[in-house]
Structure 1
């Protein structure tokens, strides 16, 4: 399987796509709502499938502006994702991407969705703006970026929401196992594989990797991290060449 098809792997592992799930659609004045799955759209209307299985076409003049904006972001007319790049390592992102090209790709991604108004991106950057459309186990995942001085993508980090120590085994571990299986399916057998890092081995601000893979243009590491009294799963995609890391 081509390495850029992370979406296919995630879908196979029950990372439900937003397009396979019903969402609320509001009337133009916001007083009425109907649940339905996206089916198709054109320049003036959208067709959805209701919970009863009936297809319903709604003119944009009768649709709330928030839903029209959602369509323009997630299902733009002719807005298919850019052609798959063999050097892509996550969805369709590569280490050649600038902020502008990364944003363009992520806006049409079926893997992640934007959680903030694009108008604010120029002020705050892309960090934490994009969230995985479906959960990693019971966790949400967010993307964080690091750039070279030349403005090219240097490192991409997928971080889940933070959870207390009481959730480390019951919530974080199942998500960690799922990510390990997905990344192994994508990149093959890891160069290094260890157990879930022990919660007592993590100091504040520490990331402890358990797995290491070679990817296009660098390496990927999976592990856990600590922030104060809370913990999260982390997948770090970096241009650094694979180096065997110490596993607690």
Structure 2
């Protein structure tokens, strides 16, 4: 029997096919507790598929995926099952019929392990951390887009006693896409704060260089379903790997061919 890894994330020879199309091809990747990883590459490279696999929304066609030392062999879909994986998508995905309090504390109310007072205290701490203290009774429709995004970060950092791990895996999907530089900086700071306060491990998918450099310690570059480069953020800044150079400089010249528009 293969012994499970003690890393938070470990992919071993992982591949994913959709029909005859290869989405991911023989991926080996390891992420230790407390580390932060940026997954980069052009559109269609397989980046979001990595997040979907980690979130339990898809399963690999070949190879193994281990989270928190346990092999994953089921889809999680709408169930909140261990391990503790939290996805922050581009869309805040708040429930319009619920207040900020119930959106942020949704899993705690459903778990039934805490009193109303304890849940409100935990939600209040998270809202204060994202600069939204006192907004518990507001509805999503009463919030700006930026405020809704911050509520989604508060929801990601909530401490869930029903979770199997005290150190969650946080997944951020293009969190600063379409934002101006000032708004991007605020979101990048929130990503760092959310990961630190939740004592978590993070994976961010992004095309934005400032987001990559401010929110991650390690970088992997995907192209055509394969890992073409991996290393530290410092090495990413100066690497002469042709894939990294082309991505950093946004050049049309290099091994990565632009998709047809």
Higher strand share: 1
TM-score, normalised on structure 2?
0.27
Q: Which has the higher helix share?
A: 2
Instruction: Work out which structure has the larger RCO, using CA pairs closer than 8 Å and 6 or more positions apart in sequence.
Output: 2
Higher-Rg structure is: 1
What is the TM-score normalised by the length of structure 1?
0.28
